[in-house]
Chains A and B, each alone.
Chain A
């Protein structure tokens, strides 16, 4: 699977799948986001980057409709979820899958039951069909079939992340939100997860929005990056964002680790092969 690269850029003129405009989030006197904009286009893997406490998870919760922002709008597939009535919001929520930072698997249920829950709740299906669909999703994320009947406490960290991804994919959503999918994994497991993500993204034509701290993951998977700095987002392609003069971005991408990765992992730009960067 080493031929997997970040997805190609989206052609111009396409409507964004996720459009966030002018988001303001405040906790008491502390303003986390102040007029934040973000757009994600179909077929992208969009990475959200930012320092600790810059409000990445708050932004994700806002986009998911779990938190009402003080101002601004969030459009998923063109519909503003901050103004939707509850019934329509439920329909929108079925169109995306989410994995949370620590997996957030239901600890009282087995992996198969975790995956079956969203399917069973939104579609009335006989038990053997549910088993078959859960089996498909579990194998899809590269877990062995026997993992289906294990409880989350019996799984390793990497398996928990995969099981969470299987649950997020349960309803075949076109849009996937991942909160730190590779945090806490060893580099080999993280790399395997990245390849799985690229493989699924290409095979299923997913759009992925991913919060990550992991520079390896960013270089391997993302085709556009949004950096949260000064309570707003600067987003661009990876090639352009590393040129951005903002000191935090320079420090982030051009610290020692960033330089090594930039040379090692960046796929050669067509036509510019061999040229010194």
Chain B
């Protein structure tokens, strides 16, 4: 209905009619693409065209080009419509620029990936080095540690995480105790549930769970905060004022988390032991005082420290990855999302990986 075709005097006549406007674009696209480029000569007649906007002009131009490409001789009966003249004057004969092709063959992509990984490692090492340089400089002038900023980060990453860390530690330890009780009951060794819970929570679970929660909570927050500051040019503004970005943004976060994570771990340890004690009392009829006595027998003086000593290391890893990924953000909102995700995934992976290294080392040291 938007395009009428008739034959007259050996010529084919095409008459666009009605409103060739944006709102009819799908119908126009179908009408234009349905025209078979046949016949030696075609006359276009705009007499019945009621209105034409630029989208309509695009479709008229598309029709013209379709016919011309097939070698059809084309003329307009009367003047070419104004918007069409305007649009073809602006766009000319060029086609949309093709999407830039993939610049490299697959083997080139592998090489590119390898180089990028190399640069990534170099960047991370450089970042680590700058952190230590700034840290060393700040040792000489303690004012540069920015206590107010550190306190804020201890509050946000530590104090505000207490409820969720406590709840999860409690529940996980209840689950461990429950499974342990089911198995050990078969041998009449219910009392060893205390050993199981105590050792698992103090050595591994307390610190590991806390670190994973904090990686999800604060690692992502670090990356997102610094990332948005980069998108907003705030990081450049800090540099231009003459401030050291590592000193202002990175170091307070690292120190704050290194303080907060061990404290959170102690909370998690306590809540984990409480969970074990509650379950032992309810399910196995082990009274609290007996639980405490058995607990003292189960652990060595070092057991608590074997867990806690890992906390600052995990904290450093989480904070460094979060801030580093945040500093890498540039250009777009998608980058921000991507790098925040990378920060969380990598820091959780690194926490578990470092924990495995600790396990081997402690085993060798008989710690």
Interface flag for A80 (CB, 8 Å) = no
Q: How far is the CA of A119 from the CA of B95 in the complex (A)?
A: 19
In A15-53, the 8 Å CB interface with B consists of none
In A98-145, the 8 Å CB interface with B consists of 106-108, 112, 119, 123-126, 129, 131-137, 139-140, 145
Interface flag for A233 (CB, 8 Å) = no
Interface flag for B69 (CB, 8 Å) = no
Q: How far is the CA of A153 from the CA of B22 in the complex (A)?
A: 30
B55 touches A139 (CB 8 A): no
B97 touches A135 (CB 8 A): yes
B90 touches A136 (CB 8 A): yes
A135 touches B334 (CB 8 A): no
Smallest CB–CB gap between B21 and chain A, Å? 7
Smallest CB–CB gap between B265 and chain A, Å? 38
A123 touches B25 (CB 8 A): yes
B96 touches A134 (CB 8 A): yes
Q: Mark B220-232, 1 if CB is under 8 A from A, else 0.
A: 0000000000010
For A260, the chain B residues whose CB sits under 8 A away are: none
In A204-224, the 8 Å CB interface with B consists of 204
Q: How far is the CA of A129 from the CA of B55 in the complex (A)?
A: 10
B331 touches A136 (CB 8 A): no
Contact of A126 among B21, B29, B53, B92 (CB under 8 A): B29
Interface flag for B9 (CB, 8 Å) = no
Main SS at interface, chain A = helix
Number of interface residues of A (CB under 8 A): 32
In A179-194, the 8 Å CB interface with B consists of none
Smallest CB–CB gap between B119 and chain A, Å? 20
Main SS at interface, chain B = helix
Q: How far is the CA of A132 from the CA of B94 in the complex (A)?
A: 10
Q: Mark A141-155, 1 if CB is under 8 A from B, else 0.
A: 000011011011110
Q: How far is the CA of A171 from the CA of B96 in the complex (A)?
A: 18
B29 touches A108 (CB 8 A): no
For B95, the chain A residues whose CB sits under 8 A away are: 135
Q: How far is the CA of A273 from the CA of B70 in the complex (A)?
A: 56
B87 touches A136 (CB 8 A): yes
Smallest CB–CB gap between B214 and chain A, Å? 29
In B235-281, the 8 Å CB interface with A consists of none
B331 touches A151 (CB 8 A): yes
The CB with the most chain B CB atoms within 10 A, among A133, A139, A153, is that of A133
The CB with the most chain A CB atoms within 10 A, among B26, B86, B332, B334, is that of B332
Interface flag for A172 (CB, 8 Å) = yes
A125 touches B29 (CB 8 A): yes
B29 touches A129 (CB 8 A): yes
Interface flag for B54 (CB, 8 Å) = yes
For A136, the chain B residues whose CB sits under 8 A away are: 54, 58, 87, 90-91
Interface flag for A240 (CB, 8 Å) = no
A123 touches B22 (CB 8 A): yes
Smallest CB–CB gap between B331 and chain A, Å? 3
Interface flag for A2 (CB, 8 Å) = no
**What are 10 A-to-B residue pairs whose CB atoms are below 8 Å?**
A107-B231, A123-B22, A125-B29, A129-B29, A135-B97, A136-B58, A136-B91, A154-B331, A172-B54, A204-B54
Q: A123-B23, A133-B58 are in contact. List 20 more A-B contacts (CB 8 A).
A: A107-B231, A107-B332, A112-B96, A119-B25, A124-B26, A125-B26, A125-B29, A126-B29, A129-B29, A131-B96, A132-B62, A136-B91, A139-B91, A139-B94, A140-B90, A145-B97, A149-B97, A153-B331, A172-B22, A204-B54
Which 8 interchain pairs have the tightest Cβ spacing? A153-B331, A108-B334, A107-B332, A135-B96, A145-B97, A172-B53, A131-B96, A172-B22
